[in-house]
Amino acid sequence: MRKRLTSVMIGGLVLAGFGAAGPAQAGLTTHCVGSASGVTVPGDLLVPADQACSLEDIVVTGNVTVARGADLVGDGLTINGNVTVQGDGYLDLGESTVAGNVANRGAFGIYLDGTDVNAYTATANVNPDSFLWTYGATFAGRIASTGGSFLLESSVAQRLVETTDSLYTDVLDSVVGGTLTVTGAEYGATVCGSEVDGHATFAGNGVGVQLGAGGALGECEHGTSVWSGNVTVTGTTGVAEVSGNVIRGNLAGTGNESVSASGNRVRGELQGQFAEQADQGTMRMRLEAPAAAEADANRDVLEQRRTARLAEAEQLADAAGPADL
């Protein structure tokens, strides 16, 4: 199972590359190219196209835009507005707060470590290779993500989580306060050691769906998941595997290539394929090893891409050097 992604912290930064742009009546916009620490930015912040900005202990009173191909790496940021990351842009925030929403508009990717935001949205099919990966993040509002890869680890989403046409969707050691809906994940979905307070639906996912600590998609150290509503799994290519869960509603399955249910405490009813398995004692079909290996390899490649982009962003920001304000 995937491990925590390492976030590089920013230290020893100096003021660099800030300048005001635009007419006064349009509001103040500050451009960032380079590095800065310990200041307040009045109004909006823009990282221009193909540039890099590293920030530490910065307050931005307005909105933040990461333009096409640009990078923003921040530690200890307070952003009072929204954050928009445009095509091939990269956002990496640690121990930060975004009072508004984070919008992925075809970004290279977004990584949030110990960061609080309101809501998250990803534009449909703009960049299928994009990602949202979190560790220790908190979302006050909804998460709606289309395309790319999705990892929610040791995080809290206080409202609904919905992913559509992702490469994969993993929810590990996390809390979802509303419904959880995963549709069309190419390499499948894994949920373990988590709490889902609303109904959960997994529909039309490839490779497999694994709801439990161990199974064909890999081992997970986080253990039992608790589901407060119904759990419905439909149309899975491969095995729909549900093991070691507490389900307070019903467990239902239809149209899956194969199902497996074991070690669960289901307080509602077993329905569809899961009821048939219980009645007939049907053995599950193991997920083919090549398919599982392909899914795991895809995750590794994406993680390597993120690490390389972060290193490149820090190098570009450092190379920009200090600038007089």
Task: Give the tens place of pLDDT for each residue, 35-49.
Answer: 999 999 999 999 999
Q: Count of CB atoms within 10 A of residue 234's CB? A: 19
CA 171 remoteness from chain centre? 9
Tokens 């149309």 — which residue?
235
- 3-class DSSP assignment, residue 204: coil
Lowest mean pLDDT of 127-131, 227-231, 251-255, name the range. 127-131
Per-chain mean pLDDT for the chain = 86
Lowest mean pLDDT of 60-74, 268-282, 288-302, name the range. 288-302
- CA distance linking residue 157 with residue 163, whole number of Å: 13
- CA distance linking residue 215 with residue 120, whole number of Å: 30
Q: Record the tokens describing residue 198, joined without a space.
A: 């609303």
Strands 18-21 and 29-32: antiparallel
Q: Count of CB atoms within 10 A of residue 247's CB? A: 24
pLDDT digits (tens, 9 = 90+) for 83-105: 999 999 999 999 999 999 999 99
Query: What average pLDDT does this structure show over 262-269?
Result: 94
* Residues, the chain: 325
In this predicted structure, what is the pLDDT of residue 291? 58
Phi, psi of 14 (to 5 degrees): -125, 165
Q: With 90 as the cut, is the pLDDT of residue 296 above it?
A: no
Listed by start position, the domains of the chain span 54-293
Q: With 70 as the cut, is the pLDDT of residue 6 above it?
A: no
Q: With 50 as the cut, is the pLDDT of residue 162 above it?
A: yes
Q: Quick one: which H or E segment has residue 302?
A: helix 289-320
Q: In Å, what is the CA distance from 71 to each residue of 7, 51, 95, 109, 321? A: 15, 6, 17, 10, 16
pTM of this prediction?
A: 0.87
Quick one: pLDDT band at residue 106, thresholds 50, 70, 90?
Answer: very high
